[in-house]
Amino acid sequence: IIRADKSKKLNKRLERANKERGYRVPWTVNKRAETTLVAYYVKKKNGGKKEWHAWVTNVNASPRRIWKIYKKRWGIETGDRVKGDFQANTCSKSFTVRVMYSLLAICLYNLWVLINLLHGFEIIKKAVATCKKYKPSITTRMVRKSYERWLVAMCEGVEA
């Protein structure tokens, strides 16, 4: 399931589509790949106005089901993007050093996820009590900087 790029051709098709049932038609990508265009008409998160969401897919499912599947990908794609924040930049050719850096990056990423999860539970409890939206306040940069300060402090205590 891939999000479809907005284009004149797509917009023309969606103008004629049934907003109640969604939209599903054969679609060609780059004049080579035969696939299916699926569109679903849903409300925006922030307000009441609805808009079309369109995907190119080979999954045989209803437009509503495609929309639900695609929504679950957000966490996976965010995780992949954020993992790069924890990767160490090294010029070392040593396999052992590279593996250790990778393991450290995995541990830091998991720590960040855990901290955000625990912090999120606290914020959600407060939000439910006060009816406010949840906004994560701990970023990967904050965790990485804290780790860097800790590592520098550890290295300063060790003589070469």
The tens digit of pLDDT for each residue in 51-67 reads 777 878 877 878 778 87
Confidence band, pLDDT 50/70/90 cuts, at residue 108 = confident
Residue 79 lies in a domain: no
pLDDT digits (tens, 9 = 90+) for 74-106: 676 777 677 677 777 778 888 888 888 888 888
How confident is the model at residue 114, as a pLDDT? Answer: 85
Q: Give the structural domain span for 130.
A: 87-157
Residue 81 lies in a domain: no
Residue 55 lies in a domain: yes
| pLDDT over 70 at 49, yes or no | yes
Same domain, 118 and 61: no
How confident is the model at residue 12, as a pLDDT? Answer: 78
| pLDDT over 60 at 128, yes or no | yes
Number of domains making up the chain = 2
Average pLDDT, the chain: 75
DSSP codes joined into one string, the chain: -EEPPP-HHHHHHHHTS-TTT-EEEEEEETTTEEEEEEEEEEE-SSSS-EEEEEEEE---S-HHHHHHHHHHHHHHHHHHHHHHHHPPP-----HHHHHHHHHHHHHHHHHHHHHHHHHHHHHHHHHHHHT--------HHHHHHHHHHHHHHHHHHS--
